[in-house]
């Protein structure tokens, strides 16, 4: 190519070249066209928006899928996704590209607020009930640490829990994470944030293969119902919920998706129910149906 022709080449070609590295640097040829096609499909399926800086994440996670499928390049993989025979791959694509970073008692101020504000308020409301009722939803539960932490908080706060009808709904779009949460078994070192008294009462330490693991006890498991769910599709639950945890999920949606999900949360919350978001999320410019009552903690308004 002459220098003049090089200067007149479209800017998009430079962008494509920056995403398509040499064979020595990448195992599979990967271009901006591949990224855009995959990003558009993910947004269509889940509402999750993949920003351009997620290129390396998309490549590294999907390169594993190409190896598993024995495919030569991303041309073949993208064609497979678009074909009828690729329907079974869609769920695996979503699982590969959704981020699942979590831990026990993550952002502890939310659990403190649940224990000191929400649960006492529910106890007062249900004081005269023969079977007091409590409903909490962990929306985007990942591998289960969040709903188990909620269950631990409830068990440590409500003294006559055996009388209560307690249901903690835990959902996630990633079916692999839902199965991990159902197993309720975690590496011992991942459970260091669990208070010792709670840990000894509600979990058991076991040897599994070459490692020590912590298994969640039946007292916690019995409170939790785990289901796969895409937040941008129809919701089968009716509520009302006393609290909803939806932390570090909305950051992956565009403004329309966030507004839609938050509006539906408001409909499902009890009259003065609470919503907990992630540390980098807020309702500013998204909804005026809540008032802020603490760091990323909101209460529904009529």
- Dist CA 207 CA 252 (whole Å): 37
- Dist CA 197 CA 13 (whole Å): 60
In this structure, are residues 121 and 229 in contact, taking their beta carbons and an 8 Å threshold? Answer: no
In this structure, are residues 262 and 289 in contact, taking their beta carbons and an 8 Å threshold? Answer: yes
Name which of 138, 136, 137, 132 is nearest 165 in CA terms: 132
Tokens of 133: 């009722």
Tokens of 99: 């981020």
Query: Parallel, antiparallel, or unpaired for β 241-246 and 133-139?
Result: parallel
- Confirm whether 172 is a catalytic residue: yes
In this structure, are residues 241 and 261 in contact, taking their beta carbons and an 8 Å threshold? Answer: no
Residues 6+ away with beta carbon under 8 Å from 253: 47, 48, 49, 232, 261
Quote the Cα angle for 282-288-291, to 5°.
70
- Dist CA 158 CA 141 (whole Å): 23
Strands (E), 107-256: 133-139, 165-172, 185-187, 203-208, 211-216, 224-228, 241-246
- Confirm whether 61 is a catalytic residue: yes
Q: Which position among 26, 61, 103, 121 bears the catalytic label?
A: 61
At 137, which helix (H) or strand (E)?
Answer: strand 133-139
Q: Which position among 172, 174, 242, 270 bears the catalytic label?
A: 172
Tokens of 228: 């796969």
- Dist CA 39 CA 264 (whole Å): 25
Which of the residues are catalytic? 61, 172
């Amino acid at each position: 190519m002459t220098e003049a022709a090089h200067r007149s080449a479209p800017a998009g070609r430079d962008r494509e070249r920056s995403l398509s590295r040499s064979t020595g640097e990448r195992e599979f040829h990967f271009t901006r066209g591949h990224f855009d096609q995959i990003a558009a499909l993910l947004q269509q399926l889940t509402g999750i928006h993949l920003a351009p800086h997620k290129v390396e994440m998309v490549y590294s996670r999907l390169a594993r899928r190409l190896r598993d499928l024995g495919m030569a390049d991303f041309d073949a993989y993208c064609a497979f996704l678009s074909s009828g025979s690729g329907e079974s791959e869609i769920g695996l694509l979503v699982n590969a590209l959704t981020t699942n970073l979590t831990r026990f008692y993550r952002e502890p101020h939310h659990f403190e607020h649940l224990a000191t504000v929400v649960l006492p308020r529910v106890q007062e409301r249900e004081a005269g009930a023969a079977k007091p009722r409590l409903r909490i939803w962990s929306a985007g539960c990942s591998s289960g640490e969040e709903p188990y932490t909620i269950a631990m908080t409830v068990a440590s706060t409500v003294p006559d829990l055996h009388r209560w009808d307690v249901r903690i709904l835990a959902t996630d779009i990633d079916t692999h994470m839902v199965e991990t949460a159902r197993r309720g078994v975690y590496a011992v070192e991942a459970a260091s944030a669990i208070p010792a008294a709670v840990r000894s009462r509600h979990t058991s330490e076991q040897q599994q293969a070459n490692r020590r693991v912590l298994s969640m006890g039946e007292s916690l498991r019995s409170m939790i119902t785990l289901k796969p769910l895409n937040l941008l599709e129809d919701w089968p639950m009716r509520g009302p919920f006393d609290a909803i945890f939806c932390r570090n999920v909305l950051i992956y949606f565009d403004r329309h998706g966030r507004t839609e999900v938050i509006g539906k949360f408001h409909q499902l919350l009890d009259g003065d129910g609470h919503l907990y978001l992630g540390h980098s999320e807020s309702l500013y410019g998204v909804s005026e149906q809540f008032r802020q009552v603490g760091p990323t903690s909101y209460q529904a308004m009529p």
